[in-house]
Amino acid sequence: MSHPIKGTTALVTGANRGIGEAIVDALIRAGAARVYAAARNTKDLAALAARHGSRVVALQLDVTQPAQVAAAAQAAPDVQLLVNNAGYAGHSGGAFSDAQWLAEGRREMDVNFFGVLAVSQAFAPVLARNGGGAIVNIASVASLVSFALFVSYSASKAAVHSLTQVTRMMLKAQGTRVHGVYPGPIDTRMAAGVPFEKTSPADAALAIIAGIEAGDEEIFPDPMSQNMGAAYLAGPKELERQVAAMSG
Ligand SMILES: NC(=O)c1ccc[n+]([C@@H]2O[C@H](COP(=O)([O-])OP(=O)(O)OC[C@H]3O[C@@H](n4cnc5c(N)ncnc54)[C@H](OP(=O)(O)O)[C@@H]3O)[C@@H](O)[C@H]2O)c1
């Protein structure tokens, strides 16, 4: 069954740069009636507002701040499509005993897992009132298999995968579709130090929109994630072995 973006109202967290900004552009191009572009600092949304005028509505939202999450749900009562994109990777590389895995890992969990949970809880009743709609969680290939480069980030993204499954189970009755997106390396500030070939945020965003419209529960928006996604679906243990071999 197809679920066209045309005419829908969406909200994207972390919309001021990277994949989030590209998703806002792609939603507008696909005919969304209105997109709430949510960011910690609304000044960072000036370029999006200039490109799209009144179809993009700037909203302040730090996903770790409960008062801002509640205010966003009040300010955007017409949302039908929630895109949980905001994310944080605080530390990469380093030995297993590196203290940064703990220090930055707490923040990664706070943004990547608790942030998605808090925003989804706040918007679930909004989506229900608007006919069910959909939630899109931007997880990662690191949700499906751990990478030595990203010890604590991988764990936070595995938590997002788990949350995606249970959100799908628990919001089915209210008619909310739940999509998990599992990107490989995308060319944004977050992946600046990642030593793999990267896909552009614009191409990833187009693939994400296509997956939402097609009703795909798992969306693999770039070549690496398509390969790893297929390997994961064939057998997660074999994928673990492949990635462990890459880590040396
Ligand atoms: N790039 C990749 O290779 C890749 C691969 C797999 C998955 N992902 C995921 O894709 C999503 C987007 O990442 P990106 O690559 O576009 O990275 P990015 O360029 O670093 O953008 C991260 C975005 O998240 C926002 N953010 C961080 N903490 C926040 C908070 N507490 N509240 C609200 N917004 C917050 C940032 O806002 P500020 O500007 O205010 O910091 C920024 O808009 C993330 O969930 C990431 O984990 C990325």
Q: Does the annotation mark 153 as catalytic?
A: yes
To test the pocket of ligand 1, the residue of 24, 60, 88 to mutate (highest count of ligand atoms within 8 Å of its CB) is: 88
Average pLDDT (170-196) is 96
Q: Which pLDDT does position 135 carry in this prediction?
A: 98
Q: Determine the residue type at 10.
A: A
Specify the pLDDT at position 148: 95
Residue 2 has pLDDT above 90, yes or no: no
Q: Is the CB of 138 under 6 A from ligand 1?
A: yes
How many residues are there in the chain?
248
Confidence band of 227 (pLDDT split at 50, 70, 90): very high
pTM for this model (two decimals): 0.98
Is the predicted pLDDT of residue 246 greater than 90, yes or no?
Answer: no
89 burial type by CB count under 10 A (0-12 exposed, 13-18 middle, 19+ buried): buried
Under DSSP, the state recorded for 109 is: I
Ligand 1, residues 145, 188, 200, 226: which to mutate, most atoms within 8 A of Cβ?
188
Residue 227 Cβ < 6 Å to ligand 1: no
Residue 242: pLDDT over 70: yes
Is 161's C-beta closer than 6 angstroms to any atom of ligand 1? Answer: no
For the Cβ of 17 lying below 6 angstroms from any atom of ligand 1, the answer is yes
Task: For residue 229, give both structure tokens.
Answer: 């996604």
What CATH architecture applies to the domain 9-246? 3-Layer(aba) Sandwich (3.40)
pLDDT in tens, 7-48: 999 999 999 999 999 999 999 999 999 999 999 999 999 999
CA 188 to centroid of ligand 1, rounded, Å? 9
pLDDT of residue 231: 96
| CA dist., res. 107 & res. 153, Å (int) | 10
Cβ 68 under 6 angstroms from ligand 1: no
- Identify the band that residue 248 occupies on the pLDDT scale cut at 50, 70 and 90: low
Predicted local confidence at residue 243, as pLDDT: 94
Please state the rounded mean pLDDT for residues 227-242: 95
Q: Looking at residues 209-232, what average pLDDT do you find?
A: 97
| Residues 13/18/23/25 CA torsion (nearest 10 deg) | 120
In angstroms, the CA 186 to CA 104 distance is 21
Rounded to whole angstroms, how far apart are CA atoms 208 and 137?
11
Contacts of 97 (CB under 8 A, 6+ apart): none
> Which one of 36, 88, 153, 182 is the catalytic residue?
153
Number of helical (H) and strand (E) elements in the chain, helices listed first: 9, 7
Indicate if ligand 1 lies below 6 Å from the C-beta of 40: yes
Whether residue 122 contacts residue 69, with contact meaning beta carbons closer than 8 Å, is answered with yes
Tens digits of per-residue pLDDT, 123-155?
999 999 999 999 999 999 999 999 999 999 999
Taking the CA of residue 189 as reference, the ligand 1 atom at the shortest distance is: 19
Q: Please write the tens of the pLDDT for every residue from 74-101.
A: 999 999 999 999 999 999 998 999 999 9
pLDDT, position 65: 98
Q: Where are the domains of the chain?
A: 9-246
∠ CA 106-155-70, rounded to 5°: 55
Q: What SS3 class is residue 132? A: coil
